[in-house]
Structure 1
Amino acid sequence: MDTWLIILIVLVVLIALLLINGLLNMRNVKALPEDEFKQDMRKVQLVDLREKEKFEHGHILGARNIPMMNLSIKMGSLRKDKPIYLYDQTGRLSIRAAKMLKKKGYTDVYMLKNGISKWTGKIKSKNK
Structure 2
Amino acid sequence: MKEISVKEVETLLDDGIELNLIDVREVEEVAAEKIPGVINIPLGLLEFRMHEFDKSKEHIMICRSGGRSGRATQFLGNHGFNVINMTGGMLAWEGKVE
TM-score (norm 2): 0.89
Match of 1:100 in 2: 75
Aligned length: 95
User: 1:88, 1:54 → 2: CA distance?
Assistant: 9
Are 2:24 and 1:52 aligned? no
Amino acid at match of 2:77: K
Q: Deviation per CA, 1:6-37: give whole Å up to 9, x if none.
A: xxxxxxxxxxxxxxxxxxxxxx2x22122211
The counterpart of 2:56, out of the listed 81, 84, 89, is: 81
Q: Which residue of 2 aligns with 1:113?
A: 87
Structure 2: which 5+ runs fail to align? none
Contact residue 44 and residue 82 of structure 1 kept, 8 A:
no
Higher-Rg member (1/2)? 1
Q: CA deviation at 1:45?
A: 1.4
The structure whose residues are more often helix, as a share, is 1
In structure 2, the residue corresponding to 1:122 is in which secondary structure? Answer: coil
Identity across matched positions, percent: 28
> Pairwise mapping of residues 11-30 of structure 1 onto structure 2 (< 5 A)?
28=1, 30=2
Q: Determine helix, strand or coil for the equivalent of 2:60.
A: strand
Aligned partners of 2:62 and 2:86 also within 8 Å: yes
- 2:10 aligns with 38
Counterparts of 1:69 and 1:40, CA distance in 2: 28
> Aligned-pair distance for 1:85?
0.5
Which 4+ residue blocks in structure 1 deviate beyond 3 angstroms?
Answer: 39-42
What TM-score, normalized by structure 1, do the two folds share? 0.69
Paired letter, 2:88? N
Distance 1:36 1:116 in 2: 14
Q: CA deviation at 1:76?
A: 0.7
User: Which SS does the other structure have where 1:123 is aligned?
Assistant: coil
Question: Counterparts of 1:50 and 1:87 in 2: how far apart (Å)?
Answer: 8
Is the strand fraction higher in 1 or 2? 2
